[in-house]
């Protein structure tokens, strides 16, 4: 077993590259891959982009591929507790030993890479070492200039949903953001799209047609919705839309016969995840933008209306129905909390909203959040959790949402998990 000192050493080397952040551009990444003998060409892949839902779709497709007997890799970001969660082989995150080996190589060979480029490069190296047959790659930011986009034409490209997010990097309109996401389109690889607003669909279809790429739309495949209606999947009513995309992706890959078993085994922590604690039930969901907040609020309403039909396997028996509820929310300062928080706050009374600061980089002040939607500013996550639980009692539900970094910290604390340092790019 690798010594903790070795793990700390490679993580320190990785985190020293945080100032370069999520650098947009493929040149350094392509050069590093060439120096390493092109690990990105050692496997076939499914490449998944989108504003929301891309992680869920990636997890479902990867789980179905594993169920089909395919040696499968999964690359997602960010992590909740251990950095190695980002790189999974057949559904299991890399062990510390394997992670240290590939990250050490990535740091050495990719000496000029940014933080996210290094992490992506390490994933490619891990997949080659593990003799992965199919890798499911979640785009980090955008698509066109994302580090994952150095891969050759994939088996399938997927774009889930398009909404306003990362406007400072991707553009200020839906059409501009859609154009960046569509940068993963490659000749020779079919494209699958989820339900898109008209301006996003028009942009993406135009780019795909110019590349000679066939576009498959989930809205044209009612059989996907019918299939998902009878399949187990990730908890939360909003995951049905993601599951329909994932099922259609599986059909296009020829593995839809294994979707039921794969979807049932899929786990995506921190997204409509119920935790049963000694103090009472907790719901974790990283709704960090307006689109995600709307999805969570709809899921809460659906859960309350018909909890028995759509509750997660580990959810309290009646979920939200008739239970007091409180919100613990935190946001990074550069996120659109001014639009996200009013949506998310609506199902909670003002005295049941508790605001705190996520870790990682500059957070939005709890007092500023209270000015956006009336609530209780708290000095720490500990205070926010304690006050929220006191407000609802043991039978009430505490919802922890907003920044994924806040959700990750709370989850680790509740479950007693070892954490690697958080990093928010």
Query: What domains are defined for the chain?
Result: 4-265 (3.40.1190.10), 273-415 (3.90.190.20)
Strands in 191-193's sheet, in edge-to-edge order, are 92-93, 87-89, 72-75, 134-138, 44-49, 156-159, 191-193, 215-217
Q: For 112-160, how does the pLDDT look when each residue is reduced to its tens digit (9 = 90+)?
A: 999 999 999 999 999 999 999 999 999 998 889 999 999 999 999 999 9
List, in sequence order, every residue forming a beta bridge with 275; answer none if it has no partner: 282
84 pLDDT above the threshold of 60: yes
Q: Give the pLDDT mean for 47-72.
A: 96
Q: Give the pLDDT mean for 212-226.
A: 95
pTM: 0.92
Question: Are 259 and 65 in contact, with CB atoms under 8 Å apart?
Answer: no
Out of 59-63, 145-149, 303-307, 393-397, least confident range: 303-307
> Which tokens hold the place of 290?
């307006």
> Which tokens hold the place of 309?
């039909």
Q: What is residue 303's predicted lDDT score, i.e. its pLDDT?
A: 76
Maximum pairwise Cα distance, the chain: 60
Q: Give the pLDDT mean for 198-209.
A: 94
Measured in Å, how far apart are the chain's first and last C-alpha atoms?
30
Q: Give the pLDDT mean for 235-252.
A: 94
Q: Give the pLDDT mean for 59-66.
A: 98
The rounded distance, in Å, linking the Cα atoms of 207 and 213 is: 9
How would you classify the pairing of strands 44-49 and 134-138? parallel
Q: What is residue 170's predicted lDDT score, i.e. its pLDDT?
A: 62
Mean pLDDT (the chain, rounded): 91
Q: What is residue 361's predicted lDDT score, i.e. its pLDDT?
A: 80
Question: Are 165 and 336 in contact, with CB atoms under 8 Å apart?
Answer: yes
Q: Give the pLDDT mean for 331-340.
A: 92
Residue among 70, 72, 66, 102 at smallest CA distance from 88: 72
Return the percentage of the chain with pLDDT > 90, whole number.
76
Q: What is residue 312's predicted lDDT score, i.e. its pLDDT?
A: 46
Q: For 380-413, how does the pLDDT look when each residue is reduced to its tens digit (9 = 90+)?
A: 999 999 999 999 999 999 999 999 999 999 999 9
Out of 134-143, 164-173, 238-247, 354-363, least confident range: 164-173
Alpha helices for 231-274 (secondary structure H): 239-253, 259-265
317 pLDDT above the threshold of 80: no
Residue among 248, 346, 255, 296 at smallest CA distance from 67: 255
The rounded distance, in Å, linking the Cα atoms of 94 and 101 is: 10
Q: What is residue 313's predicted lDDT score, i.e. its pLDDT?
A: 46
Using left for φ > 0, alpha for ψ between -120 and 50, and beta otherwise, residue 416 falls in: left
Q: Give the pLDDT mean for 198-211.
A: 94
DSSP assignments along 100-157, one per residue:
HHHHHHHHHHTTT--HHHHHHHHHHHHHHHTT-SEEEEE-SSSSTT-GGGGS-S-SEE
């Amino acid at each position: 077993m690798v010594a903790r000192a070795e793990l700390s050493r490679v993580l320190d080397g990785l985190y020293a590259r945080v100032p370069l952040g999520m650098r947009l551009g493929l040149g350094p990444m392509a050069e590093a891959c060439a120096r390493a003998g092109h690990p990105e060409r050692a496997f076939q892949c499914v490449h998944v982009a989108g504003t929301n839902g891309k992680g869920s779709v990636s997890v479902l497709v990867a789980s179905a591929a594993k169920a089909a007997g395919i040696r499968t890799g999964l690359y997602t970001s960010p992590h909740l507790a251990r950095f190695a969660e980002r790189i999974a082989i057949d559904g299991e995150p890399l062990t510390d030993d394997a992670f240290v080996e590939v990250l050490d190589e990535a740091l050495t060979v990719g000496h000029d890479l940014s933080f996210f480029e290094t992490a992506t490069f390490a994933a490619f190296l891990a997949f080659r070492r593990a003799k992965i047959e199919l890798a499911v790659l979640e785009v980090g930011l955008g698509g066109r200039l994302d580090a994952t986009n150095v891969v050759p034409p994939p088996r399938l490209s997927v774009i889930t949903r398009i909404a306003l997010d990362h406007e400072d990097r991707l553009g200020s309109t839906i059409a501009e953001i859609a154009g960046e996401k569509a940068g993963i389109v490659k000749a020779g690889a079919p494209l699958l799209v989820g339900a898109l607003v008209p301006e996003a669909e028009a942009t993406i279809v135009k780019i795909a047609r110019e590349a000679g790429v066939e576009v498959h739309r989930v809205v044209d495949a009612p059989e996907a919705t019918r299939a998902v209606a009878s399949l187990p999947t990730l908890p939360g009513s909003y995951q049905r839309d993601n599951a329909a995309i994932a099922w259609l992706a599986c059909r296009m890959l020829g593995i839809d016969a294994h979707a039921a078993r794969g979807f049932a085994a899929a786990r995506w922590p921190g997204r409509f995840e119920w935790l049963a604690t000694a103090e009472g039930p907790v719901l974790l969901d990283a709704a960090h933008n307006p689109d995600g907040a709307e999805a969570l609020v709809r899921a809460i309403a659906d859960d309350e209306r018909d909890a028995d039909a759509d509750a997660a396997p580990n959810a309290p028996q009646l979920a939200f129905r008739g239970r007091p509820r409180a919100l613990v929310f935190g946001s990074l300062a550069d996120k659109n909390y001014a639009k996200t928080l009013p949506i998310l706050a609506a199902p909670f009374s003002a005295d049941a909203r508790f605001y705190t600061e996520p870790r990682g980089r500059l957070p939005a002040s709890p007092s500023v959040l209270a000015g956006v939607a009336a609530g209780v500013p708290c000095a720490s996550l500990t205070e926010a959790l304690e006050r929220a639980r006191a407000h609802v009692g043991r039978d009430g539900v505490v919802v922890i949402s907003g920044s994924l970094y806040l959700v990750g910290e709370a989850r680790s604390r509740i479950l007693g998990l070892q954490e690697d340092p958080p990093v928010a790019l």
